[in-house]
Amino acid sequence: MVLNPPLLHTLLILLSLSTTITSSLPSQSLQDSPPYLWPLPAKFSSGDETLSVDPSLSLTVAGNGGGSPIVRAAFDRYMGMIFKHAYNRASSLLTRIRFLSMVEYDITSLKIIVHSDSEELQLGVDESYTLMVSKNNELSIVGAATIEANTVYGALRGLETFSQLCAFDYLTKSVQIYKAPWFIQDKPRFQYRGLLIDTSRHFLPVDVIKQIIESMSFAKLNVLHWHIVDEQSFPFETPTYPNLWKGAYSRWERYTVEDASEIVRFAKMRGINVMAELDVPGHAESWGTGYPDLWPSPSCREPLDVTKNFTFDVISGILADMRKIFPFEFFHLGGDEVNTDCWKNTTHVKEWLQGRNFTSKDAYKYFVLRAQQIAISKNWTPVNWEETFSSFGKDLDPRTVVQNWLVSDICQKAVAKGFRCIFSNQGYWYLDHLDVPWDQVYNTEPLNGIHDPSQQKLVIGGEVCMWGETADTSVVLQTIWPRAAAAAERMWSTREAVSKGNITLTALPRLHYFRCLLNNRGVPAAPVDNWYARRPPSGPGSCYAQ
């Protein structure tokens, strides 16, 4: 990011006044006092002052994008979080005017500078930001908090960090910023930082999905991978083929087109893309409830019937409907765990295979490649689970993004062949594996075994997966958090920051603090130190120590 001259001047002043802290420094500098930041910024410096924040903190904006409604809405959201104890903040401005001579605050305004007026949200959007917080004195020209970013989405990330600097002091009943002045220059390590949710195994109401999205923004995750349908249920409205959602569990467990559009809108306001998934040709039994011709036979309900053009017409229709809802450039086509045995045992499919001299593996490849071309024709980049690469990688469209889940070295192999890869190793980043503790999630490195810088760039990021077989509304958030935060820092912060030192000293205290921050914001994150994820604490104790 290029800073404007006044901010560069301020940076020099701040650096001269404060002790620079790099992410690889010993943990003691992070443990002296709050606030703790999660995920750890790329570069930051701090001092030893405590500043008070005006409960009627004002917003000023600058730059081509400063006036974006995304910025204004985010400011209002974060003010509600920061000043949650100011129960009548709307009247605080009048109170401040009335008692101006009695109370003076160090930080009275937040300036947000956004250089670009584009609100397009796609892979690789610039999320970098600079945050400065200092007291107004003869050496400083800021006298407030300033966030500077190239895009509104960088400004959102800066607002999250600013909110984490703010702490409520119960003795003075005021919001304080400790260890000021602060200078933070930050950007993500990976451009894709995802969380998968599964609404086929258990339906998740729209408000719950919104809670998940909101919580993602606190950890700077930026892609919601929505595994919408699977063999168990088809809860999604598709106007072109309206009988498909007859495969829903019930008529009350469905998503309308308007529901999905609202989820996408809500996510965009928080800088989060939504990647939809239609898993084919396996994991699709529920499709046949509405259209039985999609089943090869009543006893062979998946994989979908590879022999019929109707099957691909339905896929094309679904994708055409979804393209009107999901603007993100990626679309996930699944392709995992395809058992083709019943294809070989279904008469008309067997004859079709023989007529084309196909093995069942050939038919699997034919299906995946044809589905890919449908997605590409609708201006989507296809994403597929790793089995497609392992089975016929040389035939995949070169634009394919391979998502790892099963074999630990798939990303190594995929990028060696020139494919992009998303890391989601099930041994550590599948959140439904409840026996995986936070430190194993944290220590899992997407680039292990990949040494060529050009190949490292092809690993676009990673994703933690909240599969829904054993998680519904009652437990989904406490299963996601706080372990997803461990992966979130791995994907945001520099590799050096998360790979050096004793993480029980450098990361664990901050993760405890972040878990409590989630709780304070209404997210029921489970105790960090649980030996089995999502369980309640084993006894009395502080949130900051469990």
- SS3 sequence of 232-247: CCCCECCCCCCCHHHH
Instruction: Give SS3 for 528.
Output: coil
Residues in the chain, total: 546
Q: Average pLDDT, stretch 329-344?
A: 97
* pLDDT score at 297: 97
- DSSP string of 143-172? -SEEEEESSHHHHHHHHHHHHHHEEEETTT
CA-to-CA distance for 167 and 315, rounded, in angstroms? 50
- Beta 420-423 vs 401-403: how paired, if at all? parallel
* pLDDT score at 477: 98
The encoded tokens of residue 435 equal 């026996």
Q: Is residue 213 scored above 90 in pLDDT?
A: yes
* pLDDT score at 89: 52
**C-beta of residue 280 within 8 angstroms of C-beta of residue 333:** yes
Architecture of the CATH domain 192-544: Alpha-Beta Barrel (3.20)
The encoded tokens of residue 529 equal 């130190």
Is residue 103 very low, low, confident or very high in pLDDT (cuts 50, 70, 90)? confident
How many other β-carbons are positioned within 10 Å of the β-carbon of residue 58?
A: 12
* pLDDT score at 531: 86
* pLDDT score at 137: 64
Architecture of the CATH domain 43-186: 2-Layer Sandwich (3.30)
Higher pLDDT among residues 90 and 385, named by residue: 385
Amino acid symbol at 7 = L
pLDDT in tens, 441-474: 999 999 999 999 999 999 999 999 999 999 999 9
Q: Is residue 30 scored above 50 in pLDDT?
A: no
Q: Is residue 7 scored above 50 in pLDDT?
A: no
Active-site option among 120, 337, 351, 469? 337
pLDDT in tens, 464-509: 999 999 999 999 999 999 999 999 999 999 999 999 889 999 999 9
* pLDDT score at 138: 56
pLDDT in tens, 237-262: 999 999 999 999 999 999 999 999 99
Is residue 125 very low, low, confident or very high in pLDDT (cuts 50, 70, 90)? very high
Q: In the beta sheet, which residues pair with residue 198?
A: 227
* pLDDT score at 16: 40
Which secondary-structure segment (H or E) carries 301?
none
Burial letters 211-234, b for 16+ CB under 10 A, else e:
bbbbbbbbbbbbbbbbbbbbbbbb
**C-beta of residue 275 within 8 angstroms of C-beta of residue 383:** yes
For the chain, give the percent of residues with pLDDT over 90.
86
Q: Average pLDDT, stretch 267-273?
A: 98
* pLDDT score at 402: 98
Give the CA angle between residues 331, 293, 278 to the nearest 5°. 10
pTM score, whole prediction: 0.93
CA-to-CA distance for 546 and 487, rounded, in angstroms? 19
User: According to the 3-state scheme, what is the secondary structure of 336-384?
Assistant: CCCCCHHHHCCHHHHHHHHHCCCCHHHHHHHHHHHHHHHHHHCCCEEEE
Closest CA to 212 of 491, 431, 527, 469: 431
Q: Is residue 313 scored above 90 in pLDDT?
A: yes
Residue with tokens 């969380």: 195
Q: Is residue 93 scored above 90 in pLDDT?
A: no
337 is catalytic: yes
- Using the 8-state DSSP alphabet, how is residue 121 labeled? -
**C-beta of residue 305 within 8 angstroms of C-beta of residue 295:** yes
Closest CA to 251 of 203, 283, 198: 203
Sheet of 174-180, strand order: 19-22, 43-46, 182-186, 129-133, 145-149, 107-114, 49-62, 174-180, 166-169
How many angstroms separate the Cα of 384 from the Cα of each of 63, 113, 403, 431? 40, 39, 6, 20
**C-beta of residue 233 within 8 angstroms of C-beta of residue 249:** yes
Is residue 101 very low, low, confident or very high in pLDDT (cuts 50, 70, 90)? very low
**C-beta of residue 498 within 8 angstroms of C-beta of residue 442:** yes
CA-to-CA distance for 400 and 406, rounded, in angstroms? 18
Q: Average pLDDT, stretch 413-419?
A: 98
The encoded tokens of residue 119 equal 């609100």
pLDDT in tens, 128-160: 999 999 987 655 554 589 999 999 999 999 999
Domain borders along the chain are: 43-186, 192-544
CA-to-CA distance for 326 and 329, rounded, in angstroms? 8
The encoded tokens of residue 36 equal 């703790």
